[in-house]
Amino acid sequence: MRFGLNTFLYASPFTTESVKLFPKLKKWGFETVEIPVEALEHIDPVKVKAAADKAGLSIGTICACMGPGRDFRGSPEDQRNAAEYVRGLIDQAVVLGHARVIGPLYSVVGLAEAHEEAERKLQFDLVVKNLKPIAKYAEERGVTLCIEPLNRFETDFLNTCEQGLKLIKAIGSKAVKLHLDTFHMNIEEKNQAAAILRAGPLLGHFHACGSDRGTPGGDHIDWKPIVSALKQIGYNGDVVIESFTTDVKVIARAAAIWRKMEPKRDDIAVNGLANLKKFFKRK
């Protein structure tokens, strides 16, 4: 198990020039970094990988940014755009060291509406139809896709662990796993530890976030049963802090961050990592 940080805390968009963050993250004690790739042309994966290697960091995950025009349940054009984008992320992931591609790999973030059951089934079937060939593409290239349920305010499509597992089963690929996030689970799950146990060996990625999107461990979440559940299922993937601040304006607006979560954004990274090490009994 490795501890990592999502670079949305410091940059949007992350570009090849943003690798200047890497030495600082390594100095603080992070082992891996998670890079949101908002557009394929934003990074040169060869240069980013070289910078990470030089800093002594692993690029464990690429975070898919499903913005407008990328929607596997949308118009034919949106479906094509989403497929081209995710395939591009898979190609970059190979260069970056077979990083996992994670996030809401099904629909544009922010689409949250009420649908009749028949319409929901049509959308579900369409997402499965679109993701099956992409999963095969990932499988052939040794890349794992980790699908993330989001809270009800960010999507109406996939909110819970149970819904995520249903989608994964329907896709039917060993290259597809589940991505759980404590911020979203805090809203949607009756019991976070129970959700982790339900995911079991299909849990492929984990975000450790404060209940207010601030510092993990500086919030009301009960981390003891969460850590216990992760250990019980033998989870050995990355545990990544994905928290946002008002300092990165684009992400602050997208994630509805209207006030400072902590006095300084470095506090989220430094104190969050210290808390995770304490929770997991790591030095």
Bridge partners, 33 (sequence order): 5, 59
Set 31, 34, 38, 148: catalytic member: 148
Alpha-carbon Rg for the chain, nearest whole angstrom, is 18
Structure token digits, residue 100: 């996992």
Is 148 noted as a catalytic residue in this protein?
Answer: yes
Report how far residue 186's alpha carbon sits from residue 192's, in angstroms, rounded to the nearest whole number.
Answer: 7
- Give the chain's largest Cα–Cα span: 52
Element (H, E) at 2: strand 2-6
Peptide bond into 13 cis (omega under 30): yes
Q: Is 140 an annotated catalytic residue?
A: no
The SS3 of residue 33 is: strand
Which of these is catalytic: 31, 34, 242, 262?
Answer: 242
What backbone phi and psi angles, to 5 degrees, belong to 52? -65, -45
Q: Which positions are annotated as active-site residues?
A: 148, 242
